[in-house]
Structure 1
Amino acid sequence: MTAQRSDARRNYQRILTVAEAEVAAHGADASLEQIARTAGVGSATVRRHFPTRQALLEAVFRERIENLCERARRLSETDDSRAALLDWLHGLVEYAVSARGLADALTFEPPTDQPASHSCGSALEEAGTPLLENAIRDGAVRPGVTFHDLLTLSVGIALATEHHSEPAARAERLFHLAVEGISPVQGATET
């Protein structure tokens, strides 16, 4: 029984390692069959560990999402709530642009009143909401702006720029344009 468990752990790690490379190369549409072949396991083994494409994508991005969440916690302790929120959102957009497939993974999670437990989107929401609430409280962001508005905006920027010749530069420009849209006064300073 212990040998089976260690085989299962090795298979899981091998599948995840291959999936990370495939998602980096092909985005969220990476072939599950190709992942299985490259990992040296059957398709059923991939599906046993990752019953859905979303579950696989969540696992691929988990560590990096945790880093973004930790960054949000650190930034929530700063005095300038607007700068903290924009710094974190900028990091989210940069990561979504550079990590092929992340924006697609986040689009699978429409906003609901009941957050999905342990998902990338719910982890980001839990970490980023205090930053948004602080900025709204301080008058740095318009009341009524929701975390899902900001996540949708970030994902939209990443998806809209992924096929540009310079996606990071285009995303940067769109991010700065969007910031003026969430500022409480016209002509707010740039981030």
Structure 2
Amino acid sequence: MSDGQRADARRNYERILAVAVDEVAEHGVNASLEQIARVAGVGSATVRRHFPSRRALLEAVSHKRIEDLSDRARELAGTGESRSVLLEWLNEVVDYSATARGLAAVLVPDSAEVEPAHVNGCAATLEDAASPLLQNAKRDGTVSSEVMLADLLALIAGIAMATEHYPDPAAQAHHLFRLAAAGLGPQH
């Protein structure tokens, strides 16, 4: 394959992936592969050459969105008030989770024999990137020392699953997350 053909294949891959991210956000995991191909301006065969299965495409979509969230955590580290910065990033995770409609369930390994360490590479990537945000908030005393990122991500995943069938899943997910972040006591 010549350099021109490789560059064209990379552009096709990136274009397909960008369209797939939008389509999955809008239509969930059952987004039409034919629609993705049409919007990306390629044939169905090109989509299947880059992504041999729906699962492969969904994994790539998830990976891209996790990379973006990780980059955002690194951008926010050391800026602003530590609790506010952590909550800003967590709200972006809520946005992602609320628009990923059904993605988590599809990405669960097919085999129950998979090691738990391999099951959630996405969570590990997010934890690595966002750890400084949580550590800063703990250091400043604005978040309990008992709080773990894994707990926060599990909470958000649960909220996303509980709200995915609401008419406006993102609004409901944000409402529930605000309740969880504020606690049940009156706000002063």
Fold shared, TM-score > 0.5 on shorter chain: yes
**SS class of match (1:152):** helix
Q: Which residue of 1 aligns with 2:112?
A: none
Q: Which residue of 1 aligns with 2:44?
A: 41
Q: Which residue of 2 aligns with 1:104?
A: 103
2:136 corresponds to 1:134: yes
The letter of the residue matching 1:83 is S
The letter of the residue matching 2:179 is L
CA RMSD, 1 decimal: 3.6
C-alpha distance in structure 1 between counterparts of 2:148 and 2:16, whole Å: 36
Query: Cα–Cα, structure 1 residues 85 and 13, in superposed 2: closer, same or farther, change >3 Å?
Result: closer
Structure 2 unaligned blocks of 5 or more: 110-114
C-alpha distance in structure 1 between counterparts of 2:169 and 2:118, whole Å: 33
Q: Which residue of 2 aligns with 1:143?
A: 145
Structure 1 unaligned blocks of 5 or more: none
After the TM superposition, which residues 13-162 of structure 1 pair with which residues of structure 2 at under 5 Å, given as runs? 13-32=14-33, 35=36, 39-42=42-45, 46-50=47-51, 53-61=54-62, 64-78=65-79, 80-97=81-98, 99-101=99-101, 104-105=103-104, 108=107, 112-113=116-117, 120-162=122-164
Checking the alignment, whether the CA contact within 8 Å between 1:72 and 1:131 is kept in structure 2 is yes
Superposition deviation, residue 89 in structure 1: 0.8
The letter of the residue matching 1:144 is E
Query: Cα–Cα, structure 1 residues 153 and 53, in superposed 2: closer, same or farther, change >3 Å?
Result: farther
Checking the alignment, whether the CA contact within 8 Å between 1:28 and 1:105 is kept in structure 2 is no
Superposition deviation, residue 178 in structure 1: 0.9
What per-residue deviation string (whole Å, max 9, x for no partner) do you get for residues 147-189 of structure 1?
A: 22111211222222222223333222201211134xxxx7374
C-alpha distance in structure 1 between counterparts of 2:139 and 2:52, whole Å: 41
Superposition deviation, residue 130 in structure 1: 1.7
Identity value in percent = 53
TM-score by length of 2: 0.69
Query: Cα–Cα, structure 1 residues 89 and 109, in superposed 2: closer, same or farther, change >3 Å?
Result: farther
The letter of the residue matching 1:73 is R
Number of paired residues?
180
Query: Cα–Cα, structure 1 residues 107 and 124, in superposed 2: closer, same or farther, change >3 Å?
Result: farther
**SS class of match (2:93):** helix
Query: Cα–Cα, structure 1 residues 24 and 81, in superposed 2: closer, same or farther, change >3 Å?
Result: closer
C-alpha distance in structure 2 between counterparts of 1:12 and 1:112, whole Å: 30
Query: Cα–Cα, structure 1 residues 171 and 71, in superposed 2: closer, same or farther, change >3 Å?
Result: same
